[in-house]
């Protein structure tokens, strides 16, 4: 019998079955995560079940979408989450002030690790595939079932193999790679499939892998999984909870499709409204902007902030442009302060916030007015995603976002004049 992909192996290990693509299995969950938007629904559904069982150690509650609360309704959501955590004495509740964007916290706090099966009531839960986990988004009702049983059913996904060779050029990274992939295969090109990355992965940093896996859902992917290597182990060594078991694909694993990319040929990429698949090289762009947004679960890590600060140092945000900088966690914000990055952003005329998802989903903290254009390091640019239905969001990596803030139009750092 043919070998197995990483997804098939993880689902086999967690279900006790010989899991193969297309089969349905019931598998044990390592962790289930909910946020302040999806959590309250899950709590109510759990209460309806009338169960005495609750897998408390596997539950992770992270308020992040509307924190600090923007209005009475969002305050009520946060209160419901807080009270549920207190009522059940849940150990993994991350209150505002010690928290951040949920997907950043899941990695930072050591829940995500090689070989684990993780679900979250948020579509970008696929992020943790970057550290060799099988992670995927679910609904709030499914989360309630996971609270009560510690299990969920899965259809084992087919897998697309992505072979990488070479290394990125300067100011090119994971965001450019995944925008290129989504543009090539379309927003439905990996529907209910896993993307599995191989080849010269040692040339792709874990933060870049996190950006890639985060956006697997934007081409319909169930997951975006990387093998575990020395970079993975080094990245999680100081934070990971418990033991973990790396998983790699068998040499004779069966794939439904194979994609090939030479990283040295990947250019800075930007996706035009209103789909992540509407990508093209930045060098072909001719777009003025009113807002530049650096942050989100895609590109809000310290490495992204360092890139942005390197480009902004000694420069200033263009007149008429608002630059909003949002680190993905308290830990990232503290690192920014310790490294002097906040001062660089403030000196350049940017606004720096504490961690929140607010602007990314069009909730608050950066809403676009009708007709406004923003370049953002986020993951979606659907109609009305960051504000008015007739506003426009362009997706790009941190280097392009920072350079565009300075130029007042979408450019690469190479297109900026030298700092005097």
Contact of 403 with 315, CB cutoff 8 Å: no
Tokens, residue 314? 């000694």
The span from the first CA to the last CA of the chain, in angstroms, equals: 64
Contact of 420 with 328, CB cutoff 8 Å: no
Rounded to 5 degrees, φ, ψ at 235 are -65, -35
The reported pLDDT for the residue numbered 419 is: 82
Angle between helices 39-49 and 140-149 (to 10 degrees): 50
Contact of 111 with 60, CB cutoff 8 Å: yes
Q: Global pTM?
A: 0.94
Long-range CB pairs of 80-88 (<8 Å, 24+ gap) are: 80/39, 80/40, 80/43, 81/34, 81/36, 81/39, 81/40, 81/43, 84/39, 84/40, 84/43, 85/61, 88/54, 88/56
The reported pLDDT for the residue numbered 52 is: 87
Query: How far is 80 from 164, CA to CA, in rounded Å?
Result: 45
The reported pLDDT for the residue numbered 418 is: 86
Query: How far is 251 from 262, CA to CA, in rounded Å?
Result: 21
User: Cis peptide before 274, with omega less than 30 degrees from 0?
Assistant: yes
Long-range CB pairs of 14-18 (<8 Å, 24+ gap) are: 14/117, 15/154
Query: How far is 113 from 244, CA to CA, in rounded Å?
Result: 6
Contact of 403 with 416, CB cutoff 8 Å: yes
> Which alpha helices (DSSP H) does 237-375 contain, by range?
296-299, 302-312, 330-338, 341-347
- Kindly list the structural domains of the chain, giving each domain's residue range(s) and its CATH number in brackets, ordered by start: 6-261 (3.30.499.10), 271-415 (3.30.499.10)
- Placement of tokens 């946060």 in the chain: 78
Is the CA virtual torsion 404, 407, 412, 418 positive or negative?
negative
* 303 SS3 class: helix
The reported pLDDT for the residue numbered 420 is: 72
Tokens, residue 39? 């959590």
Low-confidence spans in the chain with pLDDT less than 70? none
Query: How far is 273 from 392, CA to CA, in rounded Å?
Result: 6
Could you count the other beta carbons within 10 Å of the beta carbon of residue 253? 18
The reported pLDDT for the residue numbered 51 is: 86
Q: How many angstroms from the chain centroid is the CA of residue 351? A: 22
Query: How far is 27 from 18, CA to CA, in rounded Å?
Result: 12
């Amino acid at each position: 019998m043919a070998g197995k992909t990483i997804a098939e192996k993880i689902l086999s290990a967690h279900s006790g079955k010989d899991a193969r693509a297309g089969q349905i299995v019931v598998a044990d969950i390592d962790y289930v995560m909910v946020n302040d938007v999806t959590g309250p629904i899950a709590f109510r559904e759990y209460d309806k079940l009338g169960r005495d069982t609750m897998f408390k150690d596997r539950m992770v509650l992270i308020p992040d979408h509307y924190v600090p609360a923007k209005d009475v309704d969002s305050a009520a959501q946060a209160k419901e989450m807080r009270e549920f955590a207190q009522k059940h004495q849940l150990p993994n509740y991350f209150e505002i002030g010690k928290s951040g964007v949920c997907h950043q916290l899941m990695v930072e706090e050591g829940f995500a690790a090689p070989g684990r099966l993780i679900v979250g009531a948020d579509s970008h839960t696929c992020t943790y595939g970057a550290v060799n986990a099988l992670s995927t988004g679910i609904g709030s009702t499914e989360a309630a079932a996971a609270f009560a049983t510690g299990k969920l059913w899965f259809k084992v996904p087919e897998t697309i193999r992505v072979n990488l060779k070479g290394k990125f050029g300067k100011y090119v990274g994971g965001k450019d790679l995944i925008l290129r992939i989504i543009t090539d295969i379309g927003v439905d090109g990996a529907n209910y499939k896993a993307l599995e990355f191989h080849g010269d992965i040692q040339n792709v940093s874990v933060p870049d892998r996190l950006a890639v896996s985060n956006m697997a859902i934007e081409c319909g992917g169930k997951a975006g999984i990387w093998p575990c290597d020395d970079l993975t182990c080094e990245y999680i060594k100081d934070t990971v909870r418990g033991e973990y078991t790396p998983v790699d694909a068998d040499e004779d694993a069966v794939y439904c499709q194979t994609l090939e990319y030479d990283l040295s040929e990947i250019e800075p990429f930007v996706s035009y409204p209103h789909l992540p698949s509407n990508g093209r090289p930045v060098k072909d762009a001719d777009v003025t902007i009113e807002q530049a947004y650096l942050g989100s679960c895609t590109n809000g890590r310290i490495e992204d902030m360092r890139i942005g600060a390197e480009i902004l140092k000694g420069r200033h945000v263009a007149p008429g442009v608002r630059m909003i900088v949002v680190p993905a966690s308290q830990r990232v914000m503290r690192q920014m302060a310790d490294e002097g990055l906040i001062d660089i952003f403030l000196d350049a005329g940017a606004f720096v916030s504490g961690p929140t998802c607010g602007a990314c989903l069009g909730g608050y903290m950066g809403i676009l007015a009708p007709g406004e254009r923003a370049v953002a390091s986020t993951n979606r640019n659907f109609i009305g995603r960051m504000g008015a239905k007739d506003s426009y969001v362009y997706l790009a990596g941190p280097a392009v976002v920072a350079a565009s803030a300075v130029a007042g139009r979408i450019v690469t750092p190479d297109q900026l004049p030298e700092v005097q």
